[in-house]
Amino acid sequence: MGGLLYLNPTKKRRTTMQPIIITGGPGAGKTSLLDALARRGYMTFPEVSRALIREQAALPGGVLPWTDLPRFAALCLDRMSNQREQAKRGTMPAFVDRAIGDICAYLTIGGIEVEEHYQAMAKGYFPTVFVCAPHGDIYVQDDERPHSFAEAEQIHRQLIATYRELGYEVVDVPWGSIEQRATWLLARLKQE
């Protein structure tokens, strides 16, 4: 595995690792890309929102994004914050499947004002966000992904806009096999 070291040039020592965000609209192959990175030995963290949807759907009166987006966003914020702190403790680059900026984008799509604390908490990740576009060939609707493909594309566009507004550089991950995408991503990170 090619070691990605982030060095502080003024202190010549290893600095805290900032988690690397992989995001994009539903049905973009993000989870498969994270799985490929994990197989190569990198630390990865799964998508918080899908796990929360499964957990909350199993509870009577569970909090779901399509019934109570503000409360669901608060649950996501708590878990994503913990996930980011775990990722920072690692000794190697860590990749996260979605991050706090995604919460900001989904709140915007839902017509809910994004409070300042969400924007502040969206900081602290690697400055480049890698975005995977939804792809019609792999898009599947299910209980955790009720959006149409057109809605997935709208979510994708909002994610790009939100991360740019938050000050991140947004880079599109080119379509290809999962292994090609993982190789491309790691090569791009070595150029950063």
Q: Are 54 and 129 in contact (CB under 8 A)?
A: no
- Residue 164: predicted pLDDT: 98
Mean pLDDT for the stretch of residues 6-25: 62
Domains of the chain plus CATH, in order, are 19-191 (3.40.50.300)
Q: What is the percentage of the chain residues whose pLDDT exceeds 90?
A: 70
Strands 94-97 and 128-131 come out as: unpaired
User: Residue 6's pLDDT band (boundaries 50, 70, 90)?
Assistant: very low
State the pLDDT confidence band at 138, using cuts at 50, 70 and 90. low
Q: How many whole angstroms separate alpha carbon 107 and alpha carbon 96?
A: 20
Detail the DSSP E strand segments found in 64-189: 94-97, 128-131, 169-172
Whole-structure pTM value: 0.85
Confidence of residue 9 (pLDDT cuts 50, 70, 90): very low
Distance between CA atoms of residues 95 and 159, nearest Å: 17
Q: What pLDDT, on the 0 to 100 scale, is given for residue 191?
A: 60
